[in-house]
Chains A and B, each alone.
Chain A
Amino acid sequence: MDGQEATPAAIESHGLTRDFRRTRAVDDLNLQVPKGEIYGFLGPNGAGKTTTLKILAGLISPTLGKAIVAGEEVRPGTSSLDLRRRVGFLEEEPRFYPWMRARESLVFVGRLFGFEARAAEVRADGLLEAVGLADRSGDKIKGFSRGMRQRLGIAQALVGDPEVLLLDEPASALDPIGRKEILDLIASLRGQATIVMSSHVLDDVQRVAGWVGVIRRGRLLTQGPLPRLLGRFTRPAYRLDIGGPDERSRVSCALAVESWCVEVLEEGSGLRLVVDDPAAAESRMPSLLAESAAPLQGFHALTPTLEDVFLQLIGDEDAHATQERAARDGDESADGGGG
Chain B
Amino acid sequence: MRALLNKELHELLKTARLAILPVVFLILGITGPAIIRLLPILLENAQTGVIDMTLPEFGPADAFASYLEMVRQMGLLAVILVFMGIVAGERRNGMLASLFVKPVSRLEYVVARWVVNGAYVMASLFIGSAVALAYTFLLFAPIDVGTVAQVTLLYASYVLLVFSWTVFFSSLFANPAAAGGLSVTPLFVLPALGLLWGPLGDYGPYGAVAGGTAAIGATGSPAEALGGEPLISAALNLGSCVALVAGTYLRLRRMEL
Contacts and interface: CB of A to CB of B under 8 A. Distances in A.
Interface of A: 54, 57-61, 79, 81-82, 84-85, 87, 89, 91, 93-97, 99, 108-109, 111-114, 160
A97 B95 contact: yes
Contacts of A114: 103
Interface string B1-45: 011101100110011000000000000000000000000000000
A99 B98 contact: no
Contacts of A60: 256-257
Secondary structure at chain B's binding surface: helix, strand, loop or mixed?
helix
Given A61-B256, A93-B94, A160 B15 contact: no
B11 A95 contact: no
A215 B225 CA distance: 71
B93 interface: yes
Contacts, number: 58
A108 B103 contact: no
Contact of A160 (B3, B97, B103, B257): B103
B101 A58 contact: yes
Interface string B78-120: 0000000000000001110110111111000000000000000
Contact of B102 (A79, A82, A97, A109): A109
B97 A108 contact: no
B256 A59 contact: yes
Interface in B217-257: 253, 256-257
Contact of A84 (B6, B7, B93, B102): B102
Contact of B103 (A81, A96, A97, A99): A81
Given A59-B256, A108-B7, A95 B105 contact: no
B102 A160 contact: yes
Contacts of A57: 101
B156 to A, nearest CB: 28
Nearest to A157: B101
A23 to B, nearest CB: 14
Nearest to A92: B94
Interface residues of B, number: 23
B97 A95 contact: yes
A91 B103 contact: no
Nearest to B15: A99
A150 B180 CA distance: 33
A95 B98 contact: yes
List the 6 closest pairs (A to B, CB-CB), nearest first: A111-B3, A95-B98, A60-B256, A95-B94, A89-B101, A84-B103
A82 B15 CA distance: 33
A111 B256 CA distance: 24
A79 B94 CA distance: 18
A111 B6 contact: yes
A31 to B, nearest CB: 19
B11 A99 contact: yes
A96 B3 contact: no
A95 B95 contact: yes
Given A59-B256, A112-B3, A95 B102 contact: no
25 contacts: A57-B101, A60-B256, A60-B257, A81-B105, A82-B103, A84-B100, A84-B101, A84-B102, A84-B104, A87-B101, A91-B97, A95-B93, A95-B94, A95-B95, A95-B97, A97-B11, A97-B95, A99-B11, A99-B15, A111-B2, A112-B102, A113-B103, A114-B103, A160-B102, A160-B103
B257 A59 contact: yes
A62 to B, nearest CB: 11
